[in-house]
């Protein structure tokens, strides 16, 4: 059961214990293994006629919960209906539409009587197309998209910008009956692929905006939730929302987050893709629950409270995304990223036979550090032991950049003094050439040393902070 009616399952205590031991990867792997053992068939996805309709070869909808289209010549779409009955919540989780599946996507919205679309990704991320633009580029009926294969059209009515997310009104019209419905699209534009939002509070404000429009209630059609594959960011959103509904009904000590996630994974494979996303889900649930229980608590107080337990493992999403982009700037755009880390193992019947690159740097750095400590360094280097003494770092004397620059200038002055002594021994032109060459070589060597020491100092500082936080 997802909800323990007798209580005794304190989410905040569980979060603190797992965070203190840095065991998010262990918990995540346990959930993944359990869900793999209880997975269902996904035979429709691997049929030859349906393979091209999947964005990723290892993300397939389970047959028992897949959305079946009724109008048109195609009944398949990579989408599942996910139900959390005790929370009276239901969501349609789906991939970001391909150019060839835009009409199928809108037909699903129409037939399922959905009131809203929750888009949690950008169209392009790290030079890869993560979703085809399935709405018109401009406002107005003259720019409407007509889809004759499903007898529908969609018009872009208006847009509101809320800094890190947008809302759009998209008018969907049935060309057979000439009836129309206005669909609300909530577009979260700052949630990195394989990563987490910048803060739980920003995410909760987005969630509250969605809830305030009544599009998640049981008396309307299920909201369509998608990212690129429809499992990572989409699963995180649905897990947090459904847990907060249950907490509001039964209390914070009555909800088992892991069991709810396992239950959701019975409807669609691989929901929540990384240990970092699981950890963020706990953070958002804890903060949202505190706000429910104490409406007078300010967002700043809630953030500071949770930050006490997770300061040692916070990831700066902006830096990670920027770093990933820099590394890939000189390379051609890669193929779509892998999703198999949280899914069924590929079989010979897997659709779209194409290689997939490694997960980008937005994946939690803490997960990587945990893997290295568990499995040992692949190159035979000594692993860092958080419980042992801090190592001595050569050259890590804490010199600042200004001190290194001053040292560089001092060496340059000394070089000029020594060169004056030799002026009387060689010709002026030869002396000038020699001085320039020596000065250039010393300058280059000093710059290399300065960069090395800065890098060592930064790594040293991170190690000290990590150890101090573990001791706390």
Domain harbouring 131, CATH code = 3.90.190.10
* Across 216-236, average pLDDT: 96
Question: Do residues 60 and 41 touch, judged by C-beta distance below 8 A?
Answer: no
**Do 110 and 19 share a structural domain?**
yes
- pLDDT per residue over 246-281, tens digit each? 999 998 888 999 999 999 999 999 999 999 999 999
More confident residue, 427 or 190: 190
Dihedrals phi, psi of 410, to nearest 5 degrees: -60, -45
Tokens standing for residue 434: 């020699």
**What number of other Cβ atoms are within 10 A of residue 404's Cβ?**
18
Q: Which residue has the higher pLDDT, 389 or 189?
A: 189
Binding residues for substrate: 193, 227-233, 273
Same domain, 198 and 104: yes
Same domain, 291 and 427: no
Query: In terms of domains, do 457 and 316 share one?
Result: no
In a domain? residue 363: no
Catalytic status, residue 227: yes
For residue 396, being part of any structural domain is answered with no
Among the ranges given (57-71, 269-283, 346-360), the one the predictor scored with the smallest mean pLDDT: 346-360
| 427 and 278 part of one domain | no
Residue 6 lies in a domain: no
Instruction: Provide the 8-state DSSP code for 284.
Output: H
Q: Which of 149-163, 186-200, 311-325, 455-469 has the lowest mean pLDDT?
A: 311-325
The structural domain count of the chain equals 2
Query: Which carries the bigger pLDDT value, residue 193 or residue 29?
Result: 29
How do residues 66-113 score in pLDDT, each as one tens digit? 999 999 889 999 999 999 999 999 999 999 999 999 999 999 999 999
Helix (H) / strand (E) element for 436: namely helix 428-471
pLDDT tens track for 445-456: 888 888 787 777
- Catalytic one of 131, 227, 238, 243: 227
The answer to whether position 335 is within a domain reads no
pLDDT of res. 302: 41
Give the residue numbers of the binding site.
193, 227-233, 273
For residues 319 and 411, membership in a common domain is answered with no
Q: What is the pLDDT of residue 395?
A: 40
**Which domain-ending residue is among 323, 351, 371?**
323
- For residues 297 and 406, membership in a common domain is answered with no
- Residue 352 forms part of a structural domain: no
Q: Which backbone phi and psi does 295 adopt, to 5 degrees?
A: -60, -20
Lowest model confidence (mean pLDDT) among 30-39, 107-116, 339-348: 339-348
From 36-50, 186-200, 396-410, the region with the lowest mean pLDDT: 396-410
pTM confidence score: 0.65
Last residue of a domain, one of 259, 289, 323: 323
Same structural domain for residues 452 and 315? no
Query: d(Cα 122, Cα 132) in Å, to the nearest integer?
Result: 10
Q: Are residues 171 and 77 in the same domain?
A: yes
Beta strand 165-174 with 76-84 is unpaired
Whether residue 136 sits in one domain with residue 281: yes
Which domain, by its residues, includes 440?
A: 401-471
Cβ 376 vs Cβ 354: under 8 Å? no
Residue 157 has pLDDT above 70, yes or no: yes
- Residue 284 sits in the same domain as residue 413: no
389, part of any domain = no
Q: At which of 283, 302, 323 does a domain end?
A: 323
Is residue 338 domain-resident? no
Asked whether residue 346 is domain-assigned, the answer is no
């Amino acid at each position: 059961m997802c909800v323990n009616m007798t209580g005794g399952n304190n989410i905040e205590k569980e979060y603190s214990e797992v965070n203190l031991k840095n065991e998010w990867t262990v918990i995540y792997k346990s959930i993944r293994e359990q869900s793999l053992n209880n997975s269902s068939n996904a035979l429709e996805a691997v049929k030859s006629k349906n393979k091209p309709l999947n964005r990723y070869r290892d993300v397939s909808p389970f047959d028992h919960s897949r959305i079946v289209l009724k109008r048109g010549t195609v009944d398949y779409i990579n989408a599942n209906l996910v139900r959390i009955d005790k929370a009276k919540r239901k969501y349609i989780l789906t991939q970001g539409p391909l150019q060839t599946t835009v009409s199928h996507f809108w037909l699903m919205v129409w037939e399922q009587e959905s009131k809203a679309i929750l888009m949690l990704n950008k169209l392009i991320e790290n030079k890869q197309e993560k979703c085809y633009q399935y709405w018109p580029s401009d406002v107005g009926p003259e720019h409407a998209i007509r889809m004759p294969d499903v007898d529908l059209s969609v018009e872009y009515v208006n847009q509101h910008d809320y800094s890190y997310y947008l809302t759009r009104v998209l008018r969907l019209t049935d060309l057979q009956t000439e009836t129309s419905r206005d669909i609300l699209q909530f577009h979260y534009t700052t949630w990195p692929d394989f990563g987490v939002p910048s803060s739980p509070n920003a995410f909760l404000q987005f969630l509250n905006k969605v809830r305030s429009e009544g599009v998640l209630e049981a008396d309307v059609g299920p909201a369509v939730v998608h990212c690129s594959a429809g499992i990572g960011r989409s699963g995180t959103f649905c897990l947090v929302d459904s847990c907060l509904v249950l907490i509001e009904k039964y209390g914070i000590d009555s909800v088992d987050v892991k069991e709810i996630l396992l239950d959701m994974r019975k409807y669609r494979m691989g929901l929540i893709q990384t240990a970092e996303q699981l950890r963020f889900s706990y953070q958002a649930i804890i903060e949202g629950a505190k706000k429910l229980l104490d409406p007078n608590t300010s967002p700043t107080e809630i953030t500071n409270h949770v930050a006490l337990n997770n300061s040692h493992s916070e990831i700066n999403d902006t830096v990670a995304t920027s770093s990933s982009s820099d590394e890939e700037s000189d390379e051609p755009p890669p193929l779509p990223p892998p999703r198999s880390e949280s899914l069924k193992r590929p079989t010979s019947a897997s659709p779209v036979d194409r290689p997939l690159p490694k997960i980008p740097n937005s994946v939690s750095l803490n997960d990587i550090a945990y893997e290295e400590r568990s499995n040992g360094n692949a190159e035979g280097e000594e692993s860092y032991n958080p419980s042992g003494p801090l190592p001595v770092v050569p050259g890590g004397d804490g010199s600042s950049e200004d001190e290194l620059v001053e040292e560089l200038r001092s060496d340059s002055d000394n070089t000029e003094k020594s060169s004056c002594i030799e002026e009387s021994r060689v010709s002026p032109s030869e002396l000038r050439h020699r001085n320039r060459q020596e000065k250039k070589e010393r300058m280059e060597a000093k710059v290399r040393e300065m960069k090395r020491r800065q890098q060592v100092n930064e790594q040293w500082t991170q190690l000290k902070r990590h150890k101090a936080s573990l001791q706390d």
